[in-house]
Amino acid sequence: MTSMTLPAALSARLDAAIPAPEADGYAPRIVATVEDGIGWMTFSNPRRRNAVTLGMWKQIPLVCEAFEAAPEVRVVALRGEGEASFVSGADISEFDRVRSTPADVASYDVAGKVAGAAILGLKKPTVAVIRTWCIGGGLATALNCDLRFAAENTRFAVPAARLGLGYRYAGIRTLVDIVGAAAAREIFFTARQYDAEEALRMGLISRTAPVEGFEAAAKEYLAQIAGNAPLTVAAAKMAINVALEDKAERDLSDVEAAVAACFASEDYEEGRRAFREKRKPQFKGR
């Protein structure tokens, strides 16, 4: 697996979603790259600790579309640019311009909802690679991922109660599903910050790694996922998602078809052959 570039048409759509740059030419954006089977979705707004602008929310579904369609991508990883933050939340500095009226608020919320749904809807595994700060909308974005891999110095919080913001049901439901109702109440009611140890203990994150060597540790973790059989991983993700649905709404037909596709695949043959030959399998996703 090697690096690849996004199709020109999709790159143009991504660029079109970026708002006009600020007076000094600064332009927050989502940067999409692919390397060694990992689709990197990088939140680039380092001037504001990678806070998410309206334009960035609009880019996220386009990046998800590209990564879903690319067979080279085995796992999608979300990260913030640099070491200062994962995502510090929504970019409040633009709220007077983009969230000042009820109509603006509604339009902004739709963009955020569509972005979150795009991440949740990915059939490929998703991992939030988190360091230093993961606040508000940043935490909500991370919770939309399957897994959260965090540096030991990361701080987490949902400060909505300090800002007078309303939180959409979908975001709260996701939090409750992950940490339970009691922990969700404390996170929202107190609006306090949690360190990585507390976050790991309550299940808010999946795994931690030391600050020193964090990037290498994260890539090794992602490589483990990228090296596995993609059809098997996708079928497992589908089954887990269905297991979280209400029993009355569960439809196992797609899960059963995905499992059957695994057994009928070339990868299943490759996996058995590699086991017999005592070597690492080379899966193709077919």
Question: pLDDT by residue (tens digit) across 141-160?
Answer: 999 999 999 999 999 999 88
Residues 72 and 139 in one domain: yes
In a domain, 283, yes or no: no
Question: Which residues neighbour 65 within 8 Å (Cβ) at sequence distance 6 or greater?
Answer: 10, 118
Burial of 67 (0-12, 13-18, 19+ CB in 10 A): buried
Q: What is the pLDDT of residue 286?
A: 86
Residues 138 and 67 in one domain: yes
In a domain, 93, yes or no: yes
Q: What is the pLDDT of residue 2?
A: 43
d(CA 147, CA 150) in angstroms, rounded, equals 10
Two tokens, residue 238? 């589908």
In a domain, 285, yes or no: no
Residues 136 and 24 in one domain: yes
In a domain, 286, yes or no: no
Residues 264 and 142 in one domain: no
In a domain, 2, yes or no: no
Q: How many domains would you assign to the chain?
A: 2
Residues 197 and 271 in one domain: no
Answer with the one of 211, 226, 241 that is the final residue of a domain. Answer: 226
Q: Which of 128, 134, 127, 131 is nearest to 153 (CA)?
A: 131
Query: Tens-digit pLDDT profile for the chain (286 aa)?
Result: 444 556 666 666 666 666 666 767 788 899 999 999 999 999 999 988 899 999 999 999 999 999 999 999 999 999 999 988 899 888 888 888 888 888 988 898 899 889 999 999 999 999 999 999 998 888 999 999 999 999 999 999 998 888 887 787 888 888 999 999 999 999 999 999 999 999 999 999 999 999 999 999 999 999 999 999 999 999 999 999 888 877 777 788 888 998 998 999 888 888 899 899 888 888 988 8
In a domain, 284, yes or no: no
Residues 234 and 222 in one domain: no
Q: Which of 142, 125, 39, 38 is nearest to 85 (CA)?
A: 142
Q: What is the pTM of this model?
A: 0.89
Q: What is the pLDDT of residue 19?
A: 61
CATH number, domain containing residue 149: 3.90.226.10
Domain limits at 221? 8-226
Contact 229, 283 (CB under 8 A): yes
Strands 38-44, 29-35: pairing kind: antiparallel
Residues 75 and 111 in one domain: yes
Calculate the average pLDDT of the chain.
88
Q: Which of 197, 52, 40, 59 is nearest to 128 (CA)?
A: 40
Q: What is the pLDDT of residue 1?
A: 42
In a domain, 74, yes or no: yes
Q: What is the pLDDT of residue 284?
A: 87
Residues 180 and 253 in one domain: no
Residues 186 and 269 in one domain: no
Q: What is the pLDDT of residue 135?
A: 87
Residues 255 and 207 in one domain: no
Residues 261 and 119 in one domain: no
Q: What is the 3-state secondary structure (H, E, C) of the chain?
A: CCCECCCHHHHHHHHHCCCCCCCCCCCCEEEEEEECCEEEEEEECHHHCCCECHHHHHHHHHHHHHHHHCCCCCEEEEEECCCCCCECCECHHHHHHHCCCHHHHHHHHHHHHHHHHHHHCCCCCEEEEECCEEECHHHHHHHCCCEEEEECCCEEECCHHHHCCCCCHHHHHHHHHHHCHHHHHHHHHHCCCEEHHHHHHHCCCCEEECCCCHHHHHHHHHHHHHCCCHHHHHHHHHHHHHHCCCHHHCCCHHHHHHHHHHHCCHHHHHHHHHHHHCCCCCCCCC
Residues 240 and 182 in one domain: no
Q: What is the pLDDT of residue 11?
A: 67
In a domain, 14, yes or no: yes
